[in-house]
């Protein structure tokens, strides 16, 4: 299921829509005489996450409307669903990426293998800006800032969802490349070391020399949904494919498991990152 969809909604329209949805949610919650702390666990989210949605700083997950019906009532759920229908885009996220972004926000496990660039969830701001400066066709300053902000916002998943397991396999060549220059590489190595210290994050480096490498089919992302299903995702050149077939996603999961055994361990990866950082 490959799709190419060009985003035409402006950032200001998106921001207004997010704030409007947040205001509607807050009004309905207040009408039910529930605080954020009381409402959040009833819809299976943290109060901090609900606060950001009400402030227009987070795109509401699709499941929020469904879960709200039992808490706020069917009429309130219909009002919330109507407000949600105006949210057809996510600020700073490419339109073809948005379906996966919704799954990513809800995943209980998220696996990634990359051989092109460091995964977006692990990119420091300096690296992100270096990427978008080299984007072709060139981006305007406004477009670039939207993309940077959107990617940085996604990274809050790592710290705001401590019960979600994040696993990353990254090709060693990506870190040896020196993309963006020495300062960007230093920032990248420091960031990877810091993120790798989080208890729910595991980073493994695939050595340059690995004769048994099972990742020859290219980058892949896998997510385990709250109902214990696995979904796959691949992308490239402004197109993406969401893989929902149990047979296909199972095959991806098997390949990912094999690669984890072929890559350096999390501890050995951290040691090599330290060595690379010290050599700069």
Residue 2 φ then ψ, to 5° = -90, 140
Q: How would you class 68 by CB atoms within 10 Å of its CB: exposed for 0-12, middle for 13-18, buried for 19 or more?
A: buried
pLDDT one-digit tens code per residue, 200-234: 999 999 999 999 999 999 999 999 988 889 999 99
What is the C-alpha separation between 237 and 241, in angstroms, rounded?
12
Whether 41 and 155 map to the same domain: the answer is: no
Q: Which residues of 229-251 are buried (b: 16+ CB within 10 A; e: fewer)?
A: ebbbbbbeeeebebbeeeeebee
- Judged by DSSP in three states, 44 sits in coil
Whether 39 and 125 map to the same domain: the answer is: no
Whether 144 and 201 map to the same domain: the answer is: yes
In a domain, 166, yes or no: yes
Whether 71 and 134 map to the same domain: the answer is: no
Q: Are 112 and 123 in contact (CB under 8 A)?
A: no
- Domain limit, last residue, from 84, 119, 144: 84
In a domain, 234, yes or no: yes
**Average pLDDT for 167-190:** 96
Whether 137 and 180 map to the same domain: the answer is: yes
In a domain, 89, yes or no: no
Whether 139 and 180 map to the same domain: the answer is: yes
In a domain, 4, yes or no: no
In a domain, 1, yes or no: no
What is the C-alpha separation between 243 and 231, in angstroms, rounded?
6
In a domain, 2, yes or no: no
Q: What is the CATH number of the domain that holds 168?
A: 3.30.870
In a domain, 76, yes or no: yes
Whether 101 and 78 map to the same domain: the answer is: no
pLDDT one-digit tens code per residue, 135-157: 999 988 888 888 888 888 888 88
Beta-carbon contacts of residue 144 (< 8 Å; ≥ 6 apart) = 129, 132, 133, 135
Q: What is the CATH number of the domain that holds 13?
A: 1.10.260.40
Residue 95's pLDDT is 53
What is the C-alpha separation between 81 and 71, in angstroms, rounded?
14
Question: What distances in angstroms separate CA 164 from CA 136, 151, 200, 262, one per listed residue?
Answer: 34, 19, 6, 23
Whether 136 and 42 map to the same domain: the answer is: no
Q: How confident is the model at residue 256 (pLDDT cuts 50, 70, 90)?
A: very high
Query: Which residues make beta-bridge pairs with 140?
Result: none
Higher pLDDT, 86 or 271: 271
Residue 6 has pLDDT above 60, yes or no: no
* Residue 33: domain span: 9-84
In a domain, 90, yes or no: no
pLDDT one-digit tens code per residue, 64-118: 888 999 999 999 999 998 888 766 545 555 555 667 877 888 889 999 999 999 9
Whether 127 and 100 map to the same domain: the answer is: yes
- Domain limit, last residue, from 84, 103, 122: 84
- Domain limit, last residue, from 84, 110, 125: 84
Which two tokens mark 103? 């799954």
Whether 55 and 136 map to the same domain: the answer is: no
Question: What distances in angstroms separate CA 79 from CA 54, 264, 275, one per listed residue?
Answer: 15, 51, 56
Residue 63 has pLDDT above 50, yes or no: yes
Whether 77 and 99 map to the same domain: the answer is: no
Instruction: Find tokens 């350096």 and name the residue.
Output: 264
Q: How confident is the model at residue 122 (pLDDT cuts 50, 70, 90)?
A: very high
The number of domains in the chain is 2
pTM for the whole structure: 0.70
Whether 222 and 127 map to the same domain: the answer is: yes
Q: How confident is the model at residue 10 (pLDDT cuts 50, 70, 90)?
A: very low
Query: Which residues make beta-bridge pairs with 170?
Result: 114, 205
């Amino acid at each position: 299921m490959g799709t190419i969809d060009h985003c035409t909604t402006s950032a200001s329209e998106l921001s207004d829509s997010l704030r409007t949805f947040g205001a509607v949610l807050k009004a309905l919650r207040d009408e039910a005489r529930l605080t954020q702390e009381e409402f959040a666990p009833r819809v299976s989210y943290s109060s901090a996450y609900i606060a950001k949605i009400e402030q227009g700083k987070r795109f509401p997950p699709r499941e929020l409307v469904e879960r709200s019906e039992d808490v706020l009532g069917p009429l309130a759920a219909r009002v919330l669903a109507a407000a949600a229908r105006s949210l057809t885009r996510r600020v700073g996220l490419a339109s073809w990426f948005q379906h996966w972004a919704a799954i990513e926000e809800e995943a209980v496990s998220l696996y990634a293998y990359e051989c092109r660039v460091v995964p977006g969830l692990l990119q420091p701001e300096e690296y992100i800006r270096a990427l978008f400066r080299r984007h072709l066709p060139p981006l305007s300053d406004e477009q670039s800032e939207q993309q940077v902000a959107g990617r940085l916002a996604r990274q809050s998943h790592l710290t705001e969802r401590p019960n979600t397991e994040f696993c990353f396999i990254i090709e060693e060549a990506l870190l040896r490349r020196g993309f963006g220059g020495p300062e960007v590489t230093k920032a990248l190595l420091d960031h990877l070391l810091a993120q790798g210290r989080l208890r729910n994050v595991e980073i493994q480096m695939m050595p340059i020399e690995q004769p048994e490498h099972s990742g020859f089919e290219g980058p892949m992302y896998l997510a385990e949904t709250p109902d214990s299903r696995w979904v796959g995702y691949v992308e490239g050149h402004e197109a993406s494919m969401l893989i929902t077939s149990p047979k296909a996603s199972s095959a991806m999961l098997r390949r990912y498991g094999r690669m984890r055994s072929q890559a350096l361990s999390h501890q050995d990866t951290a040691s090599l990152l330290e060595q690379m950082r010290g050599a700069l």
